Amino acid sequence: MADERFVPRFPADTLDAFALAPVSTTPDKPAVVEAGAAGGVVSVSYRELAQRVEEYAKQLGAAGVRIGDRVVVASHTSASAIAVLLACARVGAVFIPVDPDIPALRLDSIVEATGPALVLRPAGVAARTPSGDTPLGTFDAEDGIALDGVADSGRPGRRTVVGGDPAYIIFTSGTTGRPKGVVMSHHAALAFYRGTQRFGALAPDDRVASTSPLAFDVALFDICVSLGTGATLIAVPRAHLSFPRRLLGFLRDTGATVVHGVPSLWRPLLRHEPEGVAALGERLRGILFAGENFPLAELRRLRTLLPHLRVVNAFGATETVACSFSEVPDPLPETAEALSIGRGYPGAEILLLDEAGLPVDEPGVAGEMYIRCPSLFSGYWDDPEATRAALVPDPLEPRSGQLVYRSGDLAHRDPSGELYFCGRADSMVKIRGNRIELGEVERRLAEHPGVSAALVLALDGPDGEAALTAFVVAPAPGATPAELAELCRRSMPVYMIPKRFLFLDELPLNANGKADRKALTALAEADVS
Does position 293 interact with ligand HFR (CB under 6 A)? The reply is yes
Give the one residue of 421, 453, 470, 473 binding ligand HFR; rule: CB under 6 A. Answer: 421
Query: Using the rule CB under 6 A, is 193 a contact of ligand HFR?
Result: no
Residue 217 near ligand HFR by CB under 6 A: yes
Instruction: For ligand HFR, give the closer residue by CB, 57 or 322.
Output: 322
What are the Cα distances from residue 451, in Å, to 111, 244, 507?
A: 43, 20, 12
The single residue among 19, 290, 446, 479 that binds ligand HFR, judged by CB under 6 A, is 290
Using CB under 6 A as the binding rule, whether residue 292 contacts ligand HFR is answered as yes
Using the rule CB under 6 A, is 510 a contact of ligand HFR? no
Does residue 298 touch ligand HFR according to CB under 6 A?
A: no
Closest CB to ligand HFR among 137 and 179? Answer: 179
Q: Which is nearer to ligand HFR, 46 or 294 (CB)?
A: 294
Nearest residue to ligand HFR, using CB?
Answer: 221
Q: Rounded to an integer, what distance in angstroms lies between the CA atom of residue 310 and that of residue 259?
A: 11
Instruction: Give the residue among 184, 261, 249, 199 at the shortest CA–CA distance from 229.
Output: 199
Q: How far is the CB of 65 from ligand HFR (least distance, A)?
A: 27
Task: For residues 50 and 7, give the distance between their C-alpha atoms in angstroms, rounded to a whole number.
Answer: 20
The amino acid at residue 347 is G
Size of the site for ligand HFR (CB under 6 A): 20
Residue placing its CB nearer to ligand HFR in the complex, 77 or 313:
313
Q: What is the C-alpha to C-alpha distance for residues 136 and 145, in angstroms, rounded to an integer?
A: 10
CA angle 271, 448, 490 (to 5 degrees): 170
State which amino acid sits at residue 393.
P
Candidate residues 45, 210, 264, 318; the one interacting with ligand HFR per rule CB under 6 A: 318
| Nearest residue to 166 (alpha-carbon basis) of 64, 93, 117, 83 | 93
From the list 15-23, 119-127, 310-318, 479-487, the region that binds ligand HFR by CB under 6 A is 310-318
- Residue 210 as a binder of ligand HFR (CB under 6 A): the answer is no
Quote the least distance from Cβ 344 to ligand HFR, whole Å.
13
Element (H, E) at 344: none
Given 50, 65, 191, 218, the residue binding ligand HFR (CB under 6 A):
218
- Residue 424 in contact with ligand HFR, rule: CB under 6 A: yes
In a 10 Å sphere around its CB, with 0-12 CB exposed, 13-18 middle and 19+ buried, how is residue 434 labelled?
A: exposed
Phi and psi angles of residue 145, each rounded to the nearest 5 degrees, phi first: -100, 120
First-to-last alpha carbon distance for the chain, in angstroms, is 64
Segment (H or E) for 181: strand 181-185
Tell me which residue of 373, 320, 363 sits closest to 340, measured CA to CA: 363
* Sites of contact with ligand HFR (CB under 6 A): 172, 217-218, 221, 290-293, 313-318, 321-322, 407, 409, 421, 424
